[in-house]
Amino acid sequence: MKETEEKITAGTQSSSIVIGIGASAGGLEALQQFFSYMPPNSGLSFVVVQHLSPDYKSLMADILGKHTEMSVCQAENRMAVEPDTVYLIPPKKYMTIKDGRLILSEAPGSLNHPIDAFFASLAAEKREHSIAVVLSGTGSDGTNGVKMVKEHGGLVIAQAPESAKFDGMPRSVINTGLADFVLSPEEIAEEILNFSNTPVLLRPLRGDSLLTDDDSLFSEEETLSHIYTILKNASGIDFTYYKRSTILRRIERRMLVTHTSSLPEFARLLGDSQEEVNTLVKEILIGVTNFFRDPAFFEKLKYNAIYKIVERAKEDEPIRVWSAGCSTGEEAYSIAILFQEVMDELQVKRDVKIFATDVDSRAIEQAGKGIFSENIIDDVTPDRLAKFFLKVGDQYHISKSIRRMIVFATHNMFSDPPFGKLDLISCRNVMIYFQPVMRRGLFAIFHSALKNGGFLFLGKSETAGEYVNLFKPVCSAEKIYLHKAEGKVEDLAPPTFSIPNIQNISLKNIHAGMSQNSESAVESRYTRFLERYLPASVVLSENDTVLHFFGSYSDYLTLAPGKATLNFFQMLCKDLSLVASTAVSRCRTEHTAITYTDIAVDTPSGRKVINLLVEPIPGQEGDDELVSVLFLESGAPEEAGGVVEKYDLDATAARRISDLEREFQVSQNDLRSTIQRLETVNGELQAANEELLTANEELQSSTEELQSVNEELYTVNTEHQLKLDELTTMTNDLSNFLSSTMIGILFVDGDLNIRKFTEYVGREFQLMEHDVGRPIQIFAHSFPDEAIESDCRTVLRDLVSIDREVTAMNGRFYTLRIAPYRTTENSIRGLVITIIDSLGTSPRSEP
């Protein structure tokens, strides 16, 4: 970071800025417009990465050269990047930039993204002095690249979709939310010039102080504190202990974008614009992540950590993982995929729970959807795409089995309580934004949250080397550490977490939720009256849950110990269990009231003899089938109708057993039939799924190839159309020249057939327009003494021109010239016969 800061100097920034321009179908027109507005002496360097056809010679250099005075050339390997120069990618090549030179390599045979490759190298090479511009094109090439540019502090500009012939590529960049500007090609040129000519607004830090151009240190520090307060009020995040250099770079970038010239002016803008506050928060919390970022690191994680976690985990013991700072979720999904692969390879099942958290609620919301653009094919292998993703249109949806492993939540790791008993913590490229005091607190959190023998996975620019007593390196290069719970480090304590106090919940809200209108109050009064005077009874739902209690039911129903439940049979007195289950079953089967009489029951108030009445409650069609159960203590049954039987234990038990056996047999037959049908359907679905997967992969591959070919052909067609326009103009110029000159010119081919002639020579050979294509021998001419046909054959044979003066029948003197017609390839394609009036009235004397 310090190295980057030292490179920033006061004055203009243009001297070292490189602009990478990505374009595809329709991009040639946008490039012409862009360079027409870009002055030739800006001091900037431009590298154009266009999708080109590998089978056609590119005319891009000639075409763009007509729209700019800058030098336009096709890049060569290890060519130095100079200012005021436009470099074009050659066909069939990948191009990157390193140490100020362009590096060319062979393009891969499969679908490739040359714009992403160049943008990624540009971000690493030029960092905040890089500008990525995405112009017209289809697909998503460039989207992953601008993420890298943005992460390294560069500027990202997308062409406005309404000004692009094909808006696929610009819109893909815009959808990431990373574009600083969305402009037309003319406006892009203007904004780049403004960016390159703007002085550095905030100079580097010295220690922990901010220096500005006017050296008003105290006021600037106060202004920065005010900005921190505004951001905290808007997001709930205190950025005070984030890296000052990072914060200042993000603020300076927003100052450039909003055209504010000083920190106080920008602070006033933040105070007036909530949208700008939200944008700055998003810029500071910028989450740039990919699936399996640093693939070699994730492979090491799989075989050196995840395998061990799964192997040692018990079947009934959940595996707990924390993905801290997960951004839009790619990292969490990558870890879930690795766990699923390991379980498949070991042929075991474990309950894996991944807690994926981030302070950015918008990123968490996007992560929870599990939907990603097609540019993930650059990071996810085809096998993983087919197994763990479902392609819907031009998007990929994560599979449900992977999504179920992950719980996404908004979480501030410094103020919210951490997770505990963790087997793995992945916190990659998060600590690089924190000051040392926050990093120390973060390691204390990890120490308290991890199990003994748990693993810590950091980013490649981060290390736990300062805490070797707590975290033992497993793979040092890949930043994988083993946690040692017994380790001690002095003064390493996690921060104090704020836990919401339940007593602070407003009673006003509770009363508001429980308020009733006057009508419901009257209904409640009637219900209380009925509950007091009705016999002991309950209303049951279809699944035997008690919906309502009436009367003095406590002698027959009690709450069972353990987990609370309202299931009727778990609360029912044991003496009534058999008769009640039989009665309820018969009531639902026969759809009539069932009454059993003379049932002896031991209750808390003594032994009683009761009647049990189970009756269906009528309702409208489609309503739930409710039943009422009444415990009647009177000697005679109520007049409920239906079936009335005296309770006999043996007979009731036998009947109940018979009913259960019959239900079991029916259920078993249904289950067997269902299993058979499911097996058949599953076999058919599996076969169909395999066919669809194969067809989908073939179609996807074909679609991508056709899309790439279509873009290349569109570019070639555009170049050829421009050349055709030039040739048409040239043809018109030549036609006008030939028709206006007083020189007679006649073009004939190798067989002496007429190809073209001027009006002047047409009079001497009596030619008309429809004579084109006819042999010259059949036409009379005005030079009876000349053997023009014979001279033509001589010139065709010897390839030596003939020049001499000739006399026409009208007595005028002409100079006759017969010369070979040579092409640019130096081949002979006929003759050119020229007749020039000598402007004399008498012949020259012969030598």
Q: How far apart are the first and last CA of the chain?
A: 90
572 and 467 within one domain: no
720 is catalytic: no
Q: Please identify which of the residues 141, 167, 378, 379 carries the catalytic annotation.
A: 141
Q: How far apart are CA 341 and CA 152, in angstroms?
A: 33
**Which one from 24, 121, 172, 327 is the annotated catalytic residue?**
24
Same domain, 620 and 564: yes
CATH number of domain containing 639: 3.30.450.20
pLDDT attached to residue 463: 86
Rounded Cα–Cα distance for residues 686 and 394 (Å) = 24
DSSP element (H, E) containing 457: strand 450-458
122 and 263, same domain (yes or no): no
What are the E-state strand segments in 696-812? 744-748, 754-757, 802-807
Tokens standing for 541?
């739902």
Q: Are residues 172 and 315 in the same domain?
A: no
Specify whether the CB–CB gap between 755 and 738 falls below 8 A: no
d(CA 668, CA 557): 33
Q: Which two tokens stand for residue 427?
A: 């916190």
Distance separating alpha carbons of residues 460 and 619, to the nearest angstrom: 67
585 part of the active site: no
- Report DSSP letters for 670-683, one per residue: HHHHHHHHHHHHHH
> Which residues on neighbouring strands pair with residue 610, listed in sequence order?
599
Q: Total structural domains in the chain? A: 5
Burial class (CB in 10 A: 0-12, 13-18, 19+), 416: middle
For residue 366, being part of any structural domain is answered with yes
Closest by CA to 165, choosing from 25, 260, 282, is 25
Residues 250 and 328 in one domain: no
How do beta strands 319-324 and 352-358 pair? parallel
- Type and span of the H or E element at 101: strand 101-106
Q: Name the nearest CA neighbour of 820 among 808, 841, 809, 834.
A: 834
Beta bridge partners of residue 628, listed in sequence order: 539, 615
In this structure, is residue 579 part of a structural domain?
Answer: yes
Contacts from 622-625 at CB under 8 Å and sequence distance 24+? 624/541, 624/542, 625/542, 625/588
How far is the C-alpha of 557 from the C-alpha of 537, rounded, in Å? Answer: 10
**CATH number for position 411:** 3.40.50.150
Are 455 and 474 in contact by the 8 Å Cβ rule? The answer is yes
Q: How many residues does the chain have?
A: 847
Note whether residue 664 is domain-resident. Answer: no
Q: Give me the torsion for CA of 51, 55, 57, 60, rounded to 10°.
A: -10
**Structural Rg of the chain based on CA atoms:** 43
Q: In this predicted model, what pLDDT tens digit does every residue of 534-553 receive, in sequence order?
A: 788 889 988 888 888 888 88
The answer to whether 130 and 148 are in contact (CB under 8 A) is no
Question: Of 623, 645, 667, which residue constitutes the final position of a domain?
Answer: 645
The residue out of 143, 163, 197 marking a domain boundary is 197
Residue 818 covered by a domain: yes
Instruction: Pick out the chain residues at pLDDT < 70.
Output: 1-15, 53-58, 109-111, 199-219, 287, 489-533, 620-623, 634-640, 694, 697-698, 700-705, 707-709, 711-712, 715-716, 719, 738-742, 762-764, 780, 838-847
Same domain as 750, residue 609:
no
**Boundary (domain end) residue, out of 262, 284, 306:** 284
Who contacts 456 (Cβ-Cβ below 8 Å, separation ≥6)? 424, 425, 427, 446, 450, 464, 471, 480, 481, 482, 483
Question: Do residues 57 and 103 both lie within one domain?
Answer: yes
| Residue 55 pLDDT | 63
Q: Can you tell me the distance from the alpha carbon of 190 to that of 259, in angstroms, rounded to the nearest whole number? A: 13
User: What's the pLDDT at 345?
Assistant: 93
Same-domain pairing of 99 and 190: yes
Inside any domain, residue 651 = no
Residue 746: give the domain boundaries.
741-837
Q: Are residues 256 and 331 in the same domain?
A: no
The residue type at 641: G
- What is the predicted pLDDT for the residue at 544? 87
Active site residue 172: no
Place of tokens 């110029």: 733
Q: Parallel, antiparallel, or unpaired: how do β-strands 371-373 and 395-398 relate?
A: antiparallel
Burial of 251-266, coded b for 16+ CB within 10 Å and e otherwise, reads bbbbbbbeebebbbeb
Q: What is the CATH number of the domain that holds 102?
A: 3.40.50.180
Residues 385 and 303 in one domain: yes
Active-site residue (options: 14, 51, 136, 327): 51
Task: Specify if 299 maps to a domain.
Answer: yes
Is 544 inside a domain boundary? yes
CB-based contact 616:642 (threshold 8 Å): no
Overall pTM surpassing 0.75 (yes/no): no
CB under 8 Å to 805, separation ≥6 — which residues?
Answer: 813, 814, 815, 816, 838, 843, 844
Residues 237 and 173 reside in one and the same domain: no
How would DSSP label each residue in 280-329?
HHHHHT-----TTSSHHHHHHHIIIIIHHHHHHS-TTS-EEEEEET-TTT
Q: Answer whether residue 528 is part of any domain.
A: no
Same domain, 8 and 116: yes
